[in-house]
Structure 1
C-alpha cells in the first residue's frame, strides 16, 4: 500500500553526501563557512559545517514502542544512515578531567528489544483474527508476527520498500544467552537486536515473572520467549545482573554516541495511583540505566555518549505535539507494522505484522506526539565573566562542561567531566551575583534502592572550577517503589546570592527549597498547582520581580514574587492556550517573554508577561503571536531575537522574532533542546548537543536586524 511521505522521508531515497572531519565540507555541500568566522578570521573559519553523524542505539521494552514513542526521531535518523564509518575514544579520571575524540560521517542505528511482546499469543485485531480464525493462541507465532511487522516498518522507513530483505543470525550475549541480530541487507548500518525475554503481559498488574519482578528481586531469573522462526533455538534465562550485562555488552558492540531509552520514572496518576506508563517500559528503562552505568565504567576506549529518554503512555493525555502531516507519516509506518492490508508480503506462516495494532494504529492517542521525558529545557548555556561562555550537558552519566575563553568563536575547550556518576539528562543553570555559576540537575542512585534526588554544584570563583555535587534531596517522602518522578530543577537567585530550587513532583505540583542565610536549605515547600508537566522555568524581570512558570495539559500557570524579599505568590492563571508542554522564558523590558509551541502544528508561539509590584498583583499576558511557521517539536532556544529549535525536517533550525515566517534549517539532528545567549556585544550564540555527543554552535555577530542563515560547526574540533 503506498503511503504519503513527508519531504524528510523522501530524503531517505537520496544519497547522503558527507565527508570526513578533515574534508572541506563547505565545498561538498555548497554551504558557506560561518559569517562570524570570516569576520573574525579565527579558527572557526576552517571548521566544517555540522551534519548528522554518530552511532545511535535505541533500547525499548516491546516491538512497536520505538514506532509509537520515538518516531519521527527514528525515521529522521534513518534517513541519515550512510556508508561512512565512525571511530572514537574517550577516557575520564576521578579528578573530573576527560578527553574524548571521534570522527565519522553518517550514522548507524541499532534498536534493541528487551522482550518478545508475546502478550496473550493471539494476533487479533478488534472484532476478529488476523489471518486464521481457527488458529489457537500461540505466543511464539505472535512474537514472530511482531518481528515481521517491525522489519517491514524499518525497511519502509529506510528504503521505501517494506519487503527489503534482512539477514537474521544468532549472537552470544554477555549475559550468557543468545540474541537475534537482524541486519538490513540494503543498509547494513541498520540493525535490530532481540533479547526475547518474557513480557509482563499486563500494563500495571503485579506479575512477578516480568522485568519488574526481576528488578525488585521477586524472581531469581527471567526466561526467554523465543519467536517461532528465530535463529536462536536454545532457551535461556537471565538474572538481574545478567540482564544488565547483556544490555551493556550490546552497547559495547555498537559504541553509541546517543542512547535512546524509555522513561524510568513516569510517576503515577494522582487520582488512581497507577503508573502513567507500562511497567515493562518503566523497568526496562531502569535496566538500561544500569547497563549504561556499567558500560561507562568498564569501557574507556570509546566515544562519549548522551542519553535521551522518551515519554510513553502519558502522551495520550496531552495535546498533540506533531503537525498533521508528520503524524500521518508516522501513522503510516504503524499501519505497515500492524499488517493492516493483510497481504502476505513476508511469506511467514506466523503473519506479517501485529494485528492488535491494526484496529487502532494511533494507539491511545500516542502516535500524534513525541515528547522527551527529560532534557527538554533550554537553560544550559550561560555567560561567565565578559566574553566567557559555559555550556553543560550530561555525557557518560556525568556532567560535561565546555567553556569559551574569549569572544572569538574558535576558543572553545572541553568537554571536561565533573566527578560523580548518575547525573540524569537535563541540567539548568543560575548565575550568582558575584559572577559564579550554579548548575542544577537530578541524580539517580541505583543501589541499594532506586531513588532520584536534586543536586547542585557551584564554581569556587567566577570562571573557576566547580565544587562537588551537593544534594538537595527530594520532596518525594513516600517514594513507593522508587517512582522518583521529579523534574529537572529550575533555580532563582536572591540579591544576596541565595539559591531556590523548583521542581515538579510526582503528584504534578510545584515544590521549592530555599537556601538560608547560613548556607543551609530549608524544607521542601509545596507551592501548589496541579497537572504540571515537564520542567518549571524561571526568570527575573528588569524590576527584580521573579517569575516562575509551569505548563499543564490545558494552559500555563504563573507564580510571581512582586519584589525582592517578598513571598512568592500563586499559582495564577495566565489564560494562555494549551501548549505542547516545554516552555522557554527570557527577560524582556519590564516583563518576561514565554516561548512555546502550538498543539497540532509545532508553530512557535510567544507572549509577553508583565506583573505589577503590589502584593497579589496578577500577571498580565499580552496577545499571543506566532513565529517561524509550521515546524517541529520540543523546546525552543532563545538568543535575543534569534530563535532555534527543531524545524520541519527535524534538524536544528533558526528563525527571527518578528522576522519572516520560515525556518533556516541545517543538516543536523540533535538531542535534547537548543540553548542560546545574547552576549553583551550584541552577538548571539546558540548551542546544541549533536547525536555525535559533541557540542555544536552557531554565532551571529552584530549588527543583526535580520538574522542570516547561520552555519553550525563543532565547538571543539575532533582530535586527529
Structure 2
C-alpha cells in the first residue's frame, strides 16, 4: 500500500493505526516499500546512497524517519515561526538550536527532491500516533510531485545537545530532566527520559508541541507503530555494532546517535510482522563513519551523483562541507551485513532450493520435479537473523542452512530430515569469540561440503582472522570448538573453493595498512584418518586492489578462479568493475590479476562453476542501477568478456548454481519479499538465459 498522500488533507489520517491483519499467504505480493531509519538528516544520503537513490528512481515509496533533530551544540533559542532564510542557513552564522534543526530539514528535503528530479515543494502535516496509552505528534513532510516520498521528523535531542531547559512532567519527577546530550544513548539504557525539541517554521513551532519519551520502550513502540502504518517490505538502518578496529571508542566506534538509533530501529523491525502480518520485510543495515577506511567502491558516475546530492543538502547545513571526511563518505557505500552469494543449494536430486532471512522467519522456495516452483514456506527462527545465510549439502545430499543471530551473535543451523525433504530443528554452534566484546564482530557464516565428506563452516572472527568449525562425522553434528586459522584485517564475506588435488581453499577480502587484499587459506587433502588437514594462511593472491568480498568458481578444466570487486586508487579508477585471479595448471596462482570490467555496483559477484567440459564460468553482479548484469568467463579466452544487463531490481547480492543437468540458474532477492530467477534453456556453452521468473513473496 502506498502511504497516504499527505499533500491532500482529506486523505490525511487523524491518527496512525496499523492496517487490519490479513491471512499470511495470498497470491499477490505486497507492493515494495522502503522505510529508512537514521539518526540525523544527512545520514541517509551519506551512508545509504546510491541504494536510496536507486529505489527512488525505481518509483518505490520511500519514507525516512529521522530520530533526532541533529541540532548539535547550538545554543537554545526561541526559534522563529518562519523558515530561516537560505543565506542564514548557509552562512555559518549564529543560528540557535531551533533554527539549525530547521535548516537541516530544509536541506534534506532539497536533497530528496533532487534525487526524485522534481520541484522542492513539500506539504507538512502533524499526525497523531496513538501508541498504547501515549499519544505522540509526528511531523510528516511529503513531496508534492512524489507523495510516496515522505520524511518523518521525531525531533529527539542530538548527542551534542547541552541544554537542560525543559521541565519534566510531574508524573516523571524521578527522571533526570531535560534535553542535554546523548538522549538516545540514555534512553536506550533507560537511564533517563527525553523530551523533543521544536524546530523553527511549520505547524510544529506554531503549536509548540513536544513529545515526552519516559523510557526505551516508548520509542521502540512508536517506531513499530510507524512500520505498521507505512507497511515497508525493506527497512534500512545504520550499524548497531561498528567494527572497533576503526574510529573513537568513546563514540561507540562511530557516532553514538548512529549506533543507538540503529539499535532502536532493529529492535522495532524484528517486532514488526510485515504487511498484513506476512514475513516479507528485509532489514538492510549500512556501515557509517568507518567506511572511510574501506576502499573506494563506487564507480565514477555514482560518486559524482552522490556528491551532487550531498552538495544540495550541504547548502543548508552550516556545519558540513563537501571535502575531507564528507568527500570520503560520498565515494563509498558498505552494507553492514552481506547477503553473500551462497543462499541457494541443490537438493540430492538436483533441484535448486532458495533461502532468505526476512522478518522473523527463514523463507524458502524450491523447484519441483515437474520444473515448476513451489513455496514460499516460512520457518520459525531462534531470534532475528542477519541477512547472510549459507546453504551446504551433507554427504548424503541433505541440505543444511547456516545463519547468524543478531541478538546474541550465535551461529545457528537448520537441516533436512531426509534428502529432498522438509527441514527441522535449530541448533546453536556457538561463536568463536563467545563471551567477549568481539562476539558482535563475527561475520556471516559460509558453509561447504569439503573433500572428506564433512561440512565446514567458516566465519570472519572478531579479531579479523578466520575461524572454522567442522562436522565431527559425515551427516552428523559439529565439533565442540572453533579452529582459529589465524589471519588479520579480514572483512565480512568469504568464499570457499575445492582444490583439484583434494584439498580446500578459503578466500577473503582484507584491509591492511589501508590497502585492500585478497586473503588465502588452504587445507591439504585428507590424511590417514580421513579428515582434511587444518586450514592455514597462504600468501595473498596477486590482484588489482579489491574493494569487497570475493567469490570462487571452478573452471571446466578443474582449476579455481577467484572474482572480486575492484577499487579506485592512485593506480587507476576501477571501482565498480570486477577483477579475478586464476589458478594455474600446476596448482599455483597467477602472478597478476585481470580486470573483466562490469556495469558498476557494489558487493561480491556471484559465479557459477563451469557447467560443462567446455563451458565458461558465468559471472553475475549487481549493477549501478540495482539490477543484475552477467558475463561469461572462458578459460581459453584472454580478453575481457562482454557484459549484458539482465534487468531486474534486487536487494543484496545474486546467487548462482549449476543444476544436475548442467544448466546455470541465477537468483535475486526482490524488494517485495520474493525471489526472481533466470535459467539457461539448455546446457550448451552459449545458451542464453531465459527471462526472469518471479517466485512470489509469502
Assess same fold via TM > 0.5: yes
Partner of 1:249: 225
Matched, 1:605 2:579: yes
Task: Give per-residue Cα distances to partners, 1:452-477, cap 9 Å, x unaligned.
Answer: 11111121211122221111122224
The DSSP-based 3-state class of the residue aligned with 1:156 is helix
- CA pair 610-392 structure 1, distance change in 2 beyond 3 A: farther
Distance (Å, rounded) in 1 between the aligned partners of 2:288 and 2:499: 36
Residue-by-residue CA offset, 1:109-147 (whole Å, 9 max, x unaligned): 111111111112289xxxx985556x5351111111111
- Deviations along 1:155-201, whole A, 9 cap, x unmatched? 1111244x333334344253632221111111111111111111222
Shift of 1:529: 1.3
1:67 aligns with 2:29: no
| Cα separation, 2, equivalents of 1:580 and 1:605 | 10
Residue of structure 2 in register with 1:186 after alignment:
145
Q: Secondary structure of 1:244's match?
A: helix
Equivalent residues in 2 for 1:243-282, closer than 5 Å: 243-269=219-245, 273=249, 275-282=252-259
SS at match of 1:417: strand
Distance of 2:369 and 2:594 partners within structure 1? 36
Q: How many residues align?
A: 608
Distance 1:300 1:636 in 2: 34
Looking at structure 1, the residues matched to 324 and 55 of structure 2 have their Cα atoms a distance apart, in angstroms, of 22
**What SS does structure 2 have at the residue aligned with 1:330?**
helix
Out of 448, 452, 455, the residue aligned to residue 409 of structure 2 is 452
Residues 132, 312 of structure 1: alpha-carbon distance in 2 compared, 3 angstrom cutoff: closer
Pairing 1:531–2:493 present: no
1:566 aligns with 2:533: yes
Match for residue 501 of structure 2 among 532, 543, 553 = 543
Counterpart selection for 2:209 from 234, 237, 241? 234
Give me the whole-angstrom Cα distance separating, in 2, the residues matched to 1:400 and 1:303. Answer: 8
Q: What corresponds to 1:119 in structure 2?
A: 72
Q: Is the 8 A contact 2:292 2:325 kept in 1?
A: no
- Deviations along 1:243-275, one digit per CA (max 9) or x if unpaired, are 111110111011111111112122312797564
**Once structures 1 and 2 are overlaid, which stretch shifts more, 287-296 or 207-216?**
207-216
Structure 1 range deviating more: 275-284 or 185-194: 275-284
1:590 to 1:218, Cα distance in 2 relative to 1, 3 A: same
**Which of 160, 165, 179 is 1:201 aligned to?**
160
- Post-superposition offset of 1:368: 0.7
| C-alpha deviation, 1:300, in angstroms | 4.9
TM-score by length of 2: 0.81
8 Å CA contact 1:113, 1:194 repeated in 2:
yes
Gap runs ≥5 in structure 1: 1-46, 82-106, 340-352, 446-450, 614-618
> Does the C-alpha gap of structure 1 residues 491 and 63 become closer, same or farther in structure 2, counting only changes over 3 Å?
same
Q: 1:151: which partner in 2?
A: 109
Offset at 1:675?
Answer: 0.1
Partner of 1:376: 339
Alpha-carbon distance in 2 for matches of 1:385, 1:251: 40
Q: Deviations over 1:283-335 (max 9, x none)?
A: 211111110122129x7545621111112122101111101121011100000
Closer, same or farther: CA 165–648 of 1 in aligned 2, 3 Å: same
Using the TM superposition, name which of 269-278 and 358-367 deviates more: 269-278
| 1:661/1:144 CA distance change after superposition, 3 Å | farther
Choose which of 629, 644, 651 in structure 2 pairs with 1:671: 651
Indicate how the Cα distance of structure 1 residues 279 and 148 shifts in structure 2: closer, same or farther if over 3 A, else same.
Answer: same
Q: Which moved more, 1:509-518 or 1:587-596?
A: 509-518
Distance 1:610 1:492, change over 3 A: farther
- Alignment CA distance shift 1:494-1:583 (3 Å): closer
1:54 to 20, 28, 32: 32
* Cα distance between partner residues in 1 of 2:272 and 2:399: 31
Does the aligned pair in 2 maintain the 1:270–1:507 contact within 8 Å? no
User: What's the secondary structure of 2:397's corresponding residue?
Assistant: coil
Rounded to whole Å, the distance in 1 between the matches of 2:640 and 2:494 is 30
Query: Secondary structure of 1:696's match?
Result: strand
Q: What is aligned with 2:183?
A: 210
User: What TM-score, normalized by structure 1, do the two folds share?
Assistant: 0.79
Distance in 1 separating the partners of 2:630 and 2:96: 51
Report the alpha carbon displacement of residue 605 of structure 1 after superposing the two structures with TM.
Answer: 1.1
**Deviation of the 1:707 alpha carbon:** 5.2
Question: Is structure 2 residue 681 aligned with structure 1 residue 701?
Answer: yes
- For 1:131 and 1:118, the matched residues in 2 are separated by 15
2:23 corresponds to: none
Question: Aligned ranges for residues 125-136 of structure 1 at < 5 Å?
Answer: 131=90, 135-136=93-94
Q: d(CA) in 1 for partners of 2:240 and 2:187?
A: 15
* Structure 2: distance between partners of 1:567 and 1:542: 17
Are 1:621 and 2:594 matched, yes or no? no
Alignment of 1:203-602 (within 5 A): 209-219=182-192, 221-232=193-204, 233-238=208-213, 239-269=215-245, 273=249, 275-296=252-273, 300-302=276-278, 304-339=280-315, 353-360=316-323, 363=326, 365-406=328-369, 408=371, 410-445=372-407, 451-480=408-437, 484-495=440-451, 497-517=453-473, 519-553=477-511, 554-564=516-526, 565-588=532-555, 589-600=557-568, 601-602=575-576
The separation in 2 between residues aligned to 1:71 and 1:122, in whole angstroms, is 31
Deviations 1:3-53 (A, max 9, x none): xxxxxxxxxxxxxxxxxxxxxxxxxxxxxxxxxxxxxxxxxxxx99x9x96
Mark the CA change 1:505 to 1:208 in structure 2 (over 3 Å): closer, same or farther: farther
- Mean CA deviation greater in 276-285 or 307-316: 276-285
Please report how far the alpha carbon of residue 703 of structure 1 lies from its aligned counterpart in structure 2 after TM superposition.
4.0
2:648 partner SS: coil
Tell me whether 165-174 or 681-690 shows the greater mean CA deviation. Answer: 165-174
Please list every run of 5 or more consecutive structure 2 residues that lacks an aligned counterpart in the other structure.
1-26, 77-86, 162-179, 527-531, 569-574, 611-616
